[in-house]
Amino acid sequence: MMKDNRSEIDRASKLGFHGLCEHWEEVKASPWVGQLLDWEEQQRSQRSLERRIRSARIGTFKPMADFDYSWPTYIDRDQIDDLFELSWIGQMQNMVLIGPNGIGKTMIAQNVAYQAVLAGHTVLFCSASRMLNDLATQDGPMALERRIGRYSSPGLLCVDEVGYLSYDTRLADLFFEVISRRYNHRSILVSTNKDFTEWNTIFPNAACAVTMIDRLVHHSEIIKLEGESYRLKEAMERAAKRAQERAARKNKTTTAKSPRTQQKSPACT
């Protein structure tokens, strides 16, 4: 009994119910005490989750239940399943999703980020261009240092769409700085449409590019996807459906406007 009481008073103290703790001997036997603590813990846990989801900036995304595994010409389902186990985050490992545009890399990354938040990790999701432009616009070294800390501190940083744009040397240096700060300390999930052999087109003339790749892949697993764009497939299907609907409306209109066959009255004899 004393163990249970001590457990509850510890919970009340952690929740900041100092007045309740002050009068603990008077209320500890009351049946509402345990329920009150449960309610408050549940509400705080929910508010904490909602706050971390907002801070993660994952955006709107489709659930993995909607992912069509049959569409890519190559995808390792076991690798994807292991990715969602999230054990690699605690081991400070990185994950790199490589595949062509529209194959589903962003959808996978967003779902991983969301599951990481649910598992209690701090997460930040952003595109490469948004992160680098944000860093580049900081006014002064102190502001830049604080903003780099924003990208280097979360337990998981998801950098999406690396390779869609090219960046100058200064932006390459900023990307390198973020990766270096997180190296051996916190995990990164990167999605890119280019193999590492092509990253010289993303960061042309950047002296740090080779070292950046080396630190990123040192403790990482590469997950490759191959195939045509699923977004293009959906767009073509929508276009075909609209064409069928237009054709059906046209046929219906043509039928409605066609003159009826006039029946002639029999001639008088």
What is the model's pTM?
0.77
DSSP string, 136-166: HT--SHHHHHHHHHHHHSSSEEEEEEETSS-
Letter for the amino acid at 22? E
Sign of the CA dihedral 64, 69, 74, 76? positive
Going residue by residue through the chain (269 aa), what tens digit of pLDDT does each one get? 334 455 888 888 888 888 888 878 878 788 787 788 888 777 777 777 788 899 999 999 999 999 999 999 999 999 999 999 999 999 999 999 999 999 999 999 999 999 999 999 999 999 999 999 999 999 999 999 999 999 999 999 999 999 999 999 999 999 999 999 999 999 999 999 999 999 999 999 899 999 999 999 999 999 999 999 887 777 777 888 888 888 888 888 877 766 655 555 555 54
Count of alpha carbons within 13 Å of 100, Cβ hemisphere only? 12
How wide is the angle at C-alpha 98 spanned by C-alphas 95 and 102, nearest 5°? Answer: 125
Q: Give all strands (DSSP E) within the chain, no chain letters.
A: 94-98, 123-127, 156-162, 187-192, 220-224
The superfamily in CATH containing domain 73-224 is P-loop containing nucleotide triphosphate hydrolases (3.40.50.300)
Residue written as tokens 């009150």?
A: 36
